[in-house]
Structure 1
Amino acid sequence: MNNYEKFFQLHHQPAPFIIANAWNVKSAKLIEENGYKAIATSSGAIANSLGYEDGEKIPFSELLYVIQRIRSCTNIPLSVDFERGYTNDLETLNGHIQKLIEAGVVGINIEDAQGEETYLKKLNGIKSYLVKTNQQLFINARTDGFLQKLDSPLERTLERAKLYKEAGADGLFVTGVSDTSIIKEITAAVSLPVNVVGTPKLPAVKALADCGVKRISMAVFLYNATYKQLEKVVKDVKEEQSFTPLF
């Protein structure tokens, strides 16, 4: 079984799987060494670690380099936070997709913050390219209706889920949702495996499993937690005038 097949299977098992989001080789290797079945990247974490703001401010070439380094040093499936594709040109978009596949990436998240019309053009373009070139890539369609506080976000999410599946999406990533009753409505109505982000407002993994969730991400929160701890250490060294906090 290759890494794409392993990654696809993770979304179709009875229990949800937790996917941790890396931003460099060290974080990715720690994720793998601690028994996670797959690695995702966080666009916000990678960008911030290199001095860029999130939101496609990092050049794709720099993002690709980090992805290539992560993939060359790990063995488990790797999925990439692809934001909006780092372009609006469909030919360039397919070029980006090809470079990710050549790097060994098995999945992407691609978000619909630009609206359904633009998103469907991109999604259809990617799927057509994959079919034409006989390649596999798990497309996790990220829908931001709740995050963007659109009118009737649940109804909009369900409508988009149907459109995105027809366009070739393999999973549905719903951001900004923390009400378990709403999550249950989504998973009951959607045939795609549903991904949510683990936050303090959401319950433990078992409760999310009972809601029908198949994938739980850490997003940028793992990165934030890591550097919050680093900040504490450097502050303690300075305040205590001792190197004990390093050990």
Structure 2
Amino acid sequence: MPMPPDAFRALHRPGRPLILYNIWDAGSAVAVARAGAVALATGSAAVAGALGYPDGEAVPLDLLLTVVERIRAASDLPLSVDFEAGYATSPDGVAANALRLASLGVAGINLEDGIPPERGIRSAADHAMRIAAIRKRTGLFINARTDLFLQNPAPDHAALLPEALQRAARYAEAGADGFFAPGLTDPGLIGALCRDCPLPVNIMASPAAPSIADLAGLQVARISFGPFPWRAAMAALEAAAAEQVRPGA
């Protein structure tokens, strides 16, 4: 049975973050579940790459839903789906698509304010309308993602923090449950975001980001890994294959 929405929300605790080691298919879901995960989350780049597509809503929605169905069949852990920008141009269209995900027993979604594939960022008002439309029609945990930091270089991040907090407030008013700031890696800025954000903060672990222990100390509530698990798995597969197909090379 799917985890009730309130129970999934309760897993987001500042200082005791929910760790989501991102998956891309049913097989990776089973592996991460066996490792002891309490919840699962897809990453759009990983799902796309595993299917031979580029990131940025290039995977057809029906195919994404099939992947989600197979993951749900393989594991009963709560599942959050990286829904990118919602696969539609209007708030009603985004909400209708989100309802299809909810019908599969999904616990939550990421919904980004970036315009795939990295074609700028929507206005806060536009993204808030999309969040509100989903909230009106579903009980999904809406992890509102801002691409401000991902689409801009690190030296600009401090100047972007006030806008990020304004967006977080706007998204919270519209019904978001969490705020995701991928690309933000500076400990001081992460701490300031967690201190002033009205929503539980999700930070993406990366080689440039603080350690999980340090992120917990900064009061992060959710840590995800984006495309990095898939990249590591593919690198390991390539290395293992090379030992067999090119012995002694």
Q: CA deviation at 1:75?
A: 1.2
Deviation of 1:225 (Å): 0.2
Relative contact order, higher structure (CA 8 A, sep 6+): 2
SS of equivalent to 1:213: coil
1:99-122 deviation per Cα after TM superposition (whole angstroms, max 9, x unaligned): 111111010000011312321221
User: For the Cα contact (< 8 Å) 2:129–2:174, is it kept in 1?
Assistant: no
User: Which of 186, 198, 202 is 1:179 aligned to?
Assistant: 186
2:92 equivalent to 1:91: yes
Contact kept in structure 1, 2:15 and 2:220, CA below 8 Å: no
1:6/1:77 contact within 8 Å kept: no
Question: Mapping of 1:54-203 within 5 angstroms?
Answer: 54-113=55-114, 114-115=121-122, 116-130=124-138, 136-149=139-152, 152-203=159-210
Aligned-partner Cα distance in 2 for 1:49–1:29: 16
2:223 match: secondary structure: strand
Counterpart of 2:247 in structure 1: which amino acid? E
Name which of 190, 215, 234 aligns with 1:208. Answer: 215
| Structure number, greater radius of gyration | 1
Mark the runs of 5 or more structure 1 residues left unpaired by the alignment. Answer: 131-135, 243-247
Distance in 2, matches of 1:40 and 1:140, equals 11
Shift of 1:5: 3.0
Runs of 4+ in 1 over 4 A off after TM superposition: none
Take 1:68 and 1:165, find their aligned partners in 2: how far apart are those partners?
A: 29
Question: Does the 8 Å contact 2:14/2:219 carry over to 1?
Answer: no
For residues 112-144 of structure 1, give each alpha carbon's deviation from its aligned partner in whole angstroms, at most 9, with x where no partner exists.
1131232122112112223xxxxx110000011
Q: Could you tell me which runs of 5 or more consecutive residues in structure 2 were left unpaired when the two chains were aligned.
A: 115-120
SS for the counterpart of 1:240 is coil
Paired letter, 1:173: F
TM-score, normalised relative to structure 1? 0.91
Q: Cα RMSD over matched residues?
A: 1.8
Partner residue in 1 for 2:244: 237
Q: Is the 8 A contact 2:48 2:59 kept in 1?
A: yes
